[in-house]
Amino acid sequence: MSSKSSVALLISGGVDSAVALKRLVEQGFEPDLFYIAIGPEHDFAGYDCKMEEDIDLCKIIAKRFGLKFEIIPLHNEYWQMVVQYHVETLKLGRTPNPDLLCNQLIKFGAFEEKVGFKYDYVATGHYASIKELENGRFLHTAKDKVKDQTYFLAMLSQMQLKKLLFPIGDITKSEVRKIATENDFPNATRKDSQGICFIGRNNYSDFVEHLLGKKKGDFIEINTGKKIGEHDGHWFYTVGQRKGLGLSGGPWFVIKKNIEENIVFIANGYEPKEVYGDKLFINNPNILFPISFEENQAMDVTMKIRHTPTFSKAKIIKNKSGFSVQTEDLQHGIAPGQFAVVYDENMEFVLVAGEMDI
């Protein structure tokens, strides 16, 4: 990779992309800077993602380095691809993960089609790495295992990975903050973004109610079949959920759902065995690493069923429709629709990812 290569850097107004920019410049690149604007396709009460504040910070950083800055509106693409996916997944009684789809379809999908194709590389401030081997470029965990974001990047294709750069993947969050402070960046102490941006000021239940409404159903204790209470629709709940059930005599955990009858099955106790499992399936997997998976032969791996610093040991077996997974330790709340991401035993390379079933 030559410093003469053209680079598009996605910046957010946050400290990570600002430091990514500084590191690219130090390596001799002169990236063009882009902010992806997303938001509701129609008016949505309470929507507020601090976009104006983000853009102001982006402009300050761009001016500091004397680089081109442009806002790329992808409102319609985001709401048609990511938000509609979220809604349809909830209708099916499954648990969506819009962050993975946003990276796959928007940041490295729609942006590529609109602007990114003009550049040799696209860079971001994600905590991840790309390792170049003889047979290609592959997704690798970041130095900072607590901040590592490879889970959210695991549905990218080989074509997408070929042109990605992650300039801060080899440093820690504390090092990023230090660099930003030493260079007097205006966002040096800015808090990391949290939650789902398209919800804005609304809480999650309000967002779901706005799009899917309410429908009375029953909470049923899974072992006795006893009705414990009522709810406003199965789409408000996910497997493993404890908070927000509004039931007395708890704690209660969501165990599974009957979509046709709008029933949410629950179990009582601080650690009910019903909320744990050690088996899952990955259907229609995205294979990111050219490893030889022999059918019906177990392979030792590590994995995650959600974004967390913790890796779990497991064995995976390839079958005709995907992969069967057996984890070494019991996992809390294996939620169909969420994504499982499989790594090698050393927790370095991303091997396989896909939606989970049980």
What amino acid positions are annotated as catalytic residues? 102, 197
Helix (H) or strand (E) holding 158: helix 158-161
How far apart (Å, rounded) are the C-alpha atoms in residues 219 and 1? 57
Phi, psi of 281 (to 5 degrees): -125, 145
Closest residue by Cα to residue 207 from 233, 231, 244, 236? 236
Q: Name the 3-class secondary structure at 40.
A: coil
Helix (H) or strand (E) holding 276: strand 276-283
Q: Are strands 121-123 and 164-165 parallel, antiparallel or unpaired?
A: parallel
How far apart (Å, rounded) are the C-alpha atoms in residues 95 and 236? 10
Closest residue by Cα to residue 40 from 32, 28, 52, 48? 48
How far CA 13 is from CA of 4, 5, 10, in Å, comes to 26, 24, 10
User: What percent helix, strand, coil does the chain show, rounded to 5?
Assistant: 30, 30, 45
How far apart (Å, rounded) are the C-alpha atoms in residues 159 and 37? 24
